[in-house]
Amino acid sequence: MFSRKGCERVIRYAYELARKEGRSLTSISKGNALNYSMVFWDKIFKEVGKDYPDVKTHTYLVDAAAMFMVKDPRRFEVVVTSNLFGDILTDLGAAIAGGMGLAAGANLNPECTFPSMFEPIHGSAPDIAGQGKANPLATVWSASQMLDFFGHEDWSRRLLSVIEEVLTEKNVLTPDLSGVATTAQVGDEIVRKIRAFQ
């Protein structure tokens, strides 16, 4: 359901994030085909934008956005979209980056009146549960997002550095990244690298 309160809340959060990080903000919708919900979304995006004249904005239809994610992903910095389009585009982005095992997710409650949730976008992956094949890097990245959300930016950056090291060294990777390591072995490597920071 698209309510004014819900749309404005998520759009305003995106504007605030773009302003804080000095990045552009892209709204993705499908106003040319969804005459009620997405025209409403586009209208609210423009209205809220009047409060953020310093934030550079772009708007794309979801099909064009999918094409640009493949051809020119650098054009996207902060993106705000509906749950449906966001779910599709995050999977596409994960595939472009190397696979679902690398995509972290955060369901945020910016007001902190309810808990936020941090998890890989792929969920629990029941098809490979218990086989030692799951890539734990998205889970670690989600933990990094959680630390950042709670104001522990230093530890958040450390976890991201560890992920980058594991990926660039290519010594301990799960099968989805052309490696032979198990979930536990990658986890142990992450722990070893975190301890090396201390």
Question: Per-block average pLDDT, block size 10, for the chain (198 residues)?
Answer: 92 97 97 90 98 98 96 95 93 88 88 90 81 93 94 94 96 94 96 88
Q: How far apart are CA 21 and CA 23, in angstroms?
A: 5
Question: At 172, phi and psi to the nearest 5?
Answer: -130, 85
pLDDT recorded at residue 198: 66
Helix (H/G/I), strand (E/B), else coil: 104: strand
pLDDT number for residue 61:
97
The contacts of residue 54 (CB under 8 Å, 6+ apart) are 19
- Provide the whole-model pTM: 0.84
- Report the alpha-carbon distance of residue 34 to residue 67 in Å, rounded: 19
Out of 3.90.1150.10, 1.10.10.10, 3.40.50.2300, 3.30.1330.10, the CATH code matching 1-97 is 3.40.50.2300
- CATH 3.40.50.2300 positions along the chain are 1-97
First to last CA, the chain: 47
CB 25 within 8 A of CB 55: yes
User: For residue 111, which phi and psi values (nearest 5 degrees)?
Assistant: -80, -10
Alpha carbons 132 and 139: distance in angstroms, whole number:
14
CA distance 45 to 12: 8
Q: Could you identify the residue written with the tokens 């309510």?
A: 3
- In this structure, the strands spanning 104-107 and 117-120 are antiparallel
pLDDT given for residue 110 in this prediction: 83
